[in-house]
Structure 1
């Protein structure tokens, strides 16, 4: 599940961070790192177990985003399920906000939990989610991905005040990314669902992948919503995984990427 050569992965991450090309010592086969980002956990459900099992059958680790209001009651069965999977070391849970709500204000403007809702609202929701998850598991979240992938300047300010959240799922090129301080970004450079939420389409994925593939495509967080998968959706998901494995992608957890980033930074220092 981890890169065959840790030194190669470190070299790759260092070159990603500096924008410089890798040295001649790098093997001809480049290492490409993929992170599975699965959204909207809100309770125990057989579809999550199936999603994890299908991934594990391919030696693929996954990260699951919790809508943390679902932990407000600290349901023992739900907490035990989270701990069971976290303890395997093959599943990582992340902060997907508190309530995942959107609404329209009196002026007709569309708002969401982390889009236009204001600094106080956003920080309160982040901290409630951090506290609830820590109560359940003993440790705080270290990863954040916003509902609807919406972030604004207030989101950046709130996140910058919460050092526990070290990794941020984001759209590549978002103006908010530059406002995040001391965070490691997990860019969603490959789209997992081409026919709408919970509807992966392997032929469309492959077509878009082939258009994007090139030396710059070395890291990809790929988003899915397994709770809404149909039978066909599960098949398209596994076809995507199998394809990426044949393309030489290595699947890692977000915290492993953080570890590699830290090692790369240390190796780059004189």
Structure 2
């Protein structure tokens, strides 16, 4: 059985200062190489006036050359892109009839090793560690919490707001994915379906934060238009888009 380290909305009590507006963070997954789709995604977000956070797979620093590092730095320098820790190898598999993935069923030692290796690679390539973590496939277990607690640099954690609270996490800001960005599957945003889900979610008066997950590298042509429609709709609804680091600072006020 898969073990997921997730938390309920009730477990996240936002400070009053953070509840004064609706805040959205764009969580874009799976940066692993220089890709024109990512260039297009970053440019499109910039044209629509929103920043994006992008999850980098750690072993991409090993697999790519220095042009990759410079490409990452170029987009980060715009101030509109922030990178986050998306694991080391982004693997999942079945072993002796059991489902496993990088942060599910692999044990504390390996999970901690993958967290540290990716942090070290980021420091070497980008000059600084990541401050947010989101697991591949959003799969985590109790060992993930223990491993994250040993990496104080990782201050934020992307996760779904389902199941039991992640009581073992200490000193982490939780970036809850309270609504899906891709309603037709990975890399397939659908604005009409998104709007339907959104309208149902708005029945909850506490709905004031959302990390929206997208996979730009898997977008078909129509995906870019659907993404833009979602962004413009949320802007019209009064949502403020932030980067994870900016959001963390807002909670300190």
On whether the aligned pair clears a TM of 0.5, the verdict is yes
1:146 pairs with 2:135: yes
1:61 pairs with 2:51: yes
Q: Which residue of 1 aligns with 2:8?
A: none
Structure number with the bigger relative contact order (C-alpha 8 A, sep ≥ 6) is: 2
* Contact 2:29 2:86 (C-alpha < 8 Å) held by counterparts: yes
* Contact 1:141 1:164 (C-alpha < 8 Å) held by counterparts: yes
Q: Report deviation, 1:173.
A: 3.6
Gaps of 5+ in 2: 1-12
Q: Report deviation, 1:228.
A: 0.7
Partners of 1:84 and 1:256 in 2: CA distance? 19
Q: Which residue of 1 aligns with 2:4?
A: none
The size of the alignment, in residue pairs, is 240
1:110 pairs with 2:107: no
Cα RMSD, aligned residues only: 1.5
* Residues 76-95 of structure 1: pairs in structure 2 closer than 5 A: 76-95=66-85
Partners of 1:161 and 1:66 in 2: CA distance? 20
Q: Report deviation, 1:104.
A: 1.1
1:215 pairs with 2:215: no
Q: Report deviation, 1:103.
A: 1.2
**Taking structure 1 as the reference length, what is the TM-score of the superposition?**
0.86
Q: Report deviation, 1:175.
A: 2.9
Runs of 4+ in 1 over 3 A off after TM superposition: none
* Contact 2:33 2:64 (C-alpha < 8 Å) held by counterparts: no
Gaps of 5+ in 1: 1-11, 23-29, 264-270
The 3-state SS of whatever aligns with 1:33 is: strand
* Contact 2:158 2:174 (C-alpha < 8 Å) held by counterparts: yes
Give the counterpart of 1:34 among 24, 30, 34: 24
* Contact 2:56 2:83 (C-alpha < 8 Å) held by counterparts: yes
Q: Which residue of 2 aligns with 1:242?
A: 232
Deviation per residue, 1:80-118 (Å, 9 max, x gap): 011111111110000000000011112x00100001111
Q: Which residue of 2 aligns with 1:254?
A: 244
Q: Which residue of 2 aligns with 1:231?
A: 221
In terms of Rg, which structure is larger?
A: 1
**Taking structure 2 as the reference length, what is the TM-score of the superposition?**
0.91
Give the counterpart of 1:157 among 146, 162, 165: 146
Q: Report deviation, 1:169.
A: 0.2
The verdict on how the C-alpha distance between 1:174 and 1:180 changes in structure 2, with shifts beyond 3 A counting, is farther
Q: Which residue of 2 aligns with 1:129?
A: 118
* Contact 1:152 1:176 (C-alpha < 8 Å) held by counterparts: no
The 3-state SS of whatever aligns with 2:186 is: coil
Q: Report deviation, 1:178.
A: 2.2
* Contact 1:170 1:177 (C-alpha < 8 Å) held by counterparts: no
1:119 pairs with 2:111: no
The 3-state SS of whatever aligns with 2:70 is: helix
